Amino acid sequence: MQNVYSRPKGLTEAEFAYCAGCFHSVAHRMIAEVMEELDIIDRTIGVCPVGCAVFMYEYMACDMIEAAHGRAPAVATGVKRVLPDRIVFSYQGDGDLASIGTAEIVHAAARGENITVIFINNTTYGMTGGQMAPTTLIGQKSTTCPTGRDPKCAGYPLRVCELLATLEGPSYIERVAPTNPAGFNRTKRAIKKAFQNQLDDKGFSFVEILSNCPTQWKMSPIESLKWIEEQMTKTFPPGVFVDR
């Protein structure tokens, strides 16, 4: 019998502790599959964020470093600069990457640092209980904007792909929405390309994954997919922003 689906070698035996329906598990699995397909598990160093994915080091079969909040691109830079023949990726949520770590991601991108960055944008601080994120949509409710994000007080959501696309450093920037089979395939292809680019020495590659948070959004996983498609993509349109 042909084995068509099994645990990728890029994952440890640990069971995901993420909430049911959460995209972190999906993104982790895709990265693990890509590492296996590219045969780079034993030369990859991953840098995980502070946030829900803080425990990513439990799940990935490669060497892992847990960074301070927002600092993963700087830590990844430190690793990559001293070990240029290794594959280094950071995995960061929106609070980590687009708020407290804005400087680190912008400058890693501007340097064209030859690393891979996977950005999970779910418009919320999931781990700390659903506070307003830099990517929270206008009008979207959170525990720190209980009547909905009001730009007069809280400003506007940050579009990271569009921001980074103004720089000359990045070689690849894409935003994907894995809310249906086509989006799923698109996401996997984007992650693989972002790692392949590093192997090809092309420089900074960045994939933003529009993600859900059924728990903090107070939706079923199915409803959360619909909300990404109908609401999030209006502010964060999927697409390739840089590919050179």
Which residues make up the interface to other proteins (CB under 8 A)?
12, 41-45, 47, 54-55, 57, 60-68, 71, 74-83, 86, 103-104, 106-107
Q: Are strands 116-121 and 124-125 parallel, antiparallel or unpaired?
A: unpaired
Nearer to other proteins, 145 or 163 (CB): 163
Q: Nearest approach, Cβ of 60 to other proteins (angstroms)?
A: 8
Which segments of 78-123 are extended strands (E)? 87-93, 116-121
Closer to other proteins by Cβ: residue 4 or 85:
85
For residue 244, the minimal CB distance to other proteins (Å) is: 23
Q: Which is nearer to other proteins, 89 or 236 (CB)?
A: 89
HSE toward the beta carbon, residue 123, CA cutoff 13 A? 28
CA 179 to CA 168: how far, in whole Å? 30
Identity of the residue, 21 or 70, whose beta carbon is nearer to other proteins in the bound complex: 70
Tokens encoding 3: 């084995």
* CB-count burial class (<10 Å; 0-12, 13-18, 19+) for 231: middle
Q: How far is the CB of 134 from other proteins (least distance, A)?
A: 18
CB of 29 to other proteins, least distance (A): 17
- Token pair in block for residue 69: 């909040």
